Structure 1
Amino acid sequence: MTALGFLYPGHFAEDDYPRIEQLLGSDIRVDLVHTETGEDDCRVDVLRKTGAPQRLAAGVEGLRLTGAEAVLWASTGGSFVYGWEGAHAQVRALAQAAGTPASSTSFAFVHAVREIGARRVAVAATYPQGIADLFAGFLGAAGTEVVAVHGAGLTTAAEAGGWGADEVLALAREGDHADADAVLLPGTALHTAAHLTALEKALAKPVLTANQVTVWEALRLVDRRVNAPALGTLFRREPLVQV
């Protein structure tokens, strides 16, 4: 049994995780601990508080008893708002607190883009445009070319958590670009686990979503590769590189 631990901020799309666990269809256990979010507002200062070291450290205590072999900070906005160096410092502190390998959703996107061999990507975010641009900048710092950035303008995670299949598909289509090899949907408050096959069929290209890449990143950290076609292209191919 492989045990994976996730620190998930609030209660928005956390049901994606047991769904993904089921779709993996393997000896993998997904354990979530909910961290304090405070104010639900998509602003840089609020997102930085969401990912503050003391909040993550408190969550790690809840994961100790699960036997997690890797820990993921399941928040995109709560990691990339710290910038490239700051996000690295965040996961280093998390790894030290957990005593296991650690990462975050922002780095999961970076590694997943490399995994599928995408050179150019489009970002389709629920965020306000300015926050979406910060995510694009984070990807750029990793060497990924971002050819389009769409921010839908939602200001709370609760709004994103209320979106269904139609809204998620519309978001992906609005953010897509002809030159993009893949479309990225950041935001772990957005339900996407049930829609990955439909999204990739509609766009005719790989789609990477926050909760999907977060679980994949945890598996990468423990050197597990699982073939789970219902979870999209990312889970349907052999790794291109070990990063």
Structure 2
Amino acid sequence: MTDPTAVTGPPTVGILYPGHSAEDDYPRAEKLLGDGTRLPLVHTEMREDAHRVDALLDIGGDEVLAAGARAVAAGGPLDAIVWACTSGSFVFGWEGATAQVAALQEVSGVPASSTSFAFVDACERLGVTRVAVGATYPDDVAERFVAFLARAGVTALRLSARGIVTAAEVGTLPADPVFDLAATADHTDAQAVLLPDTALHTVELLDALEARVGKPVLTANQVSVWQGLRLAGADRPRGGLGTLFAGFRGGRRGRR
């Protein structure tokens, strides 16, 4: 039976992205999707580029996101909107991140989510409950992501944190360190490897990353795009963007 909520044409998903680092992953994703999907992106205000709790709370503040939502909506109608920042959502904790998304949805008037919840929903889609995490962040920030996953019933069997302070530095990393990050983080019993930083270029590496570790790899920009399409009613199998996009469905066990 046809889903009555599905969009009939190519969807438009607004992307709110802090600062400048790996925002070019989104036009690359548009190209790989190849179906006319639009991912208009607005750079939200980043007063300080730092993977530090106080700075991240500022980056993800309601006023900052509301301004971004109004700016991206000015470009035309949206089907969904995503706050494409993992650390700027999980740092608020589960309840705070939930309130953050609710406020964003109220301002935008369309289904909304954030990268942190996108990771949770992607794990749910794949039936994944045991993961390995390769984080670019300092330890204290990376541990907050692990705690966020745990709140959703996803256990991190290994956490590898690189301690990189700024998103700008992460955005300069070439492909080889990204492969190393995934391989170093991997754990034999992990069902997937998670790379939770939207400042990391990964969209064109997804299939190769999965070949390297031999299991699904979920990355921040990948799950952000997937979540936006899912919320827009355009969730269907697509190639070239990893197992998550290939249409595999594991056991439903989580929030939604």
Q: TM-score, normalised by structure 1?
A: 0.97
The residue that corresponds to 1:94 in the other structure is 104
The letter of the residue matching 1:144 is V
User: In structure 2, what is the Cα distance between the partners aligned to 1:80 and 1:119?
Assistant: 18
User: In structure 2, what is the Cα distance between the partners aligned to 1:111 and 1:43?
Assistant: 25
User: In structure 2, what is the Cα distance between the partners aligned to 1:63 and 1:39?
Assistant: 22
User: In structure 2, what is the Cα distance between the partners aligned to 1:206 and 1:238?
Assistant: 11
The letter of the residue matching 1:48 is L
SS of aligned partner of 1:154: coil
The letter of the residue matching 2:29 is I
Report the RMSD for the aligned CA atoms in angstroms: 1.2
- Are positions 1:41 and 2:79 aligned together? no
State the Cα deviation string for residues 22-42 of structure 1 (Å, max 9, x = none): 111113111101101111111
User: In structure 2, what is the Cα distance between the partners aligned to 1:197 and 1:8?
Assistant: 24
The residue that corresponds to 1:28 in the other structure is 37
User: In structure 2, what is the Cα distance between the partners aligned to 1:238 and 1:166?
Assistant: 27
Report if aligned partners of 1:24, 1:227 keep a CA contact under 8 Å in 2: no
The residue that corresponds to 1:186 in the other structure is 196
State the Cα deviation string for residues 99-144 of structure 1 (Å, max 9, x = none): 1110000000000011111120011010011111110000000111
SS of aligned partner of 1:28: coil
SS of aligned partner of 2:38: strand
Report if aligned partners of 1:16, 1:211 keep a CA contact under 8 Å in 2: yes
Alignment of 1:54-133 (within 5 A): 54-65=63-74, 66-133=76-143
SS of aligned partner of 2:240: helix
Deviation at 1:209, TM superposition (A): 0.1
The count of aligned residue pairs is 243
Q: TM-score, normalised by structure 2?
A: 0.92
Instruction: List runs of 5+ in structure 1 lacking aligned partners.
Output: none
User: In structure 2, what is the Cα distance between the partners aligned to 1:239 and 1:203?
Assistant: 20
The letter of the residue matching 1:55 is V
User: In structure 2, what is the Cα distance between the partners aligned to 1:130 and 1:171?
Assistant: 18
The letter of the residue matching 2:247 is R
Report if aligned partners of 2:129, 2:153 keep a CA contact under 8 Å in 1: no
